[in-house]
């Protein structure tokens, strides 16, 4: 659900600047996907959203900012590794410096010192890496509790497993609270506009699917997608 709302937020903020090519998404599992979407919506409405709203209401803004910065920095090795895999060596070197600066001077990432110094933050993952090397997105998928994905991004999740420091925490009493706090904090940051946008659509499922695919298309091309005529529908492969 968090990924779903992030996708919607991206669509709202980027608009036509990062539009996806006009094509029919490969969604042969739409009947099943819609059922999973409804399940996720109920789970978010009655569990995650209330918890996130309570967290947002009782947590001071400086603390919420620090928590967000901490998790952004904690998972930044995913961006570094995939920058290298996409041959973006200059970017990966800059991202490594960003990670080291925030991890030390920024007190484990609680303070985004690198951002204050004008160092750009990037967003890379293994799903984008596969897209960079020409792997088609395949079918659109709705995953229980995890939200929208594609065949390619589902494989990408597995690849990112090995570069996410969270998964190397052996102590369940530390790992599970970290995962829960990250989910709640991320959901709290999406209260408001993204939810309203999705709820106002005639078909929220289609709006969510379009938003997600647009976001992924934009990320693979670093916010500068090629013209629609250059798009190759890998979903038919």
Mean pLDDT for 55-73 is 95
Q: What are the tens digits of pLDDT across the range 90-102?
A: 999 999 999 999 9
Mean pLDDT for 67-91 is 96
Give the pLDDT score at 61. 94
Give the pLDDT score at 234. 43
Give the pLDDT score at 24. 65
Give the pLDDT score at 22. 43
In 3D space, the residue among 214, 230, 234, 229 whose CA is nearest the CA of residue 9 turns out to be: 214
Exposed/middle/buried for 50, CB within 10 Å: 0-12, 13-18, 19+?
exposed
Mean pLDDT for 162-185 is 88
Does residue 229 carry a pLDDT above 60? no
Contact 198, 8 (CB under 8 A): yes
Whether the full predicted model's pTM is greater than 0.85, yes or no, is no
Percent of the chain scoring above 70 in pLDDT: 82
């Amino acid at each position: 659900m968090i990924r779903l709302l992030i996708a919607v937020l991206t669509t709202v903020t980027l608009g036509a600047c990062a539009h996806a090519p006009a094509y029919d998404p490969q969604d042969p599992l739409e009947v099943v996907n819609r059922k999973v979407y409804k399940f996720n919506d109920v789970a978010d409405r009655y569990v995650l959203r209330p918890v996130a709203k309570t967290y947002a209401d009782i947590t001071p803004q400086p603390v919420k900012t620090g928590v967000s910065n901490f998790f952004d920095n904690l998972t930044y090795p995913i961006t570094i590794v995939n920058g290298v895999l996409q041959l973006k060596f200059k970017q990966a070197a800059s991202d490594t410096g960003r990670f080291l600066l925030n991890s030390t001077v920024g007190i484990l990432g609680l303070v985004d010192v690198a951002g204050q110094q004008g160092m750009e933050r990037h967003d890379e993952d293994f799903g984008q890496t596969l897209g960079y090397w020409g792997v088609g997105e395949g079918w659109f998928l709705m995953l229980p509790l995890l939200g929208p994905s594609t065949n390619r991004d589902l494989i990408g999740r597995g690849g990112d497993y090995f570069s996410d420091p969270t998964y190397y925490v052996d102590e369940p009493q530390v790992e599970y609270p970290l995962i829960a706090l990250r989910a709640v904090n991320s959901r709290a940051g999406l209260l408001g506009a993204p939810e309203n946008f999705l709820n106002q659509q005639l078909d929220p499922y289609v709006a969510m699917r379009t938003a997600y695919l647009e976001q992924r298309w934009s990320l693979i091309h670093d916010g500068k997608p090629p013209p629609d005529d250059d798009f190759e529908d890998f979903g038919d492969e």
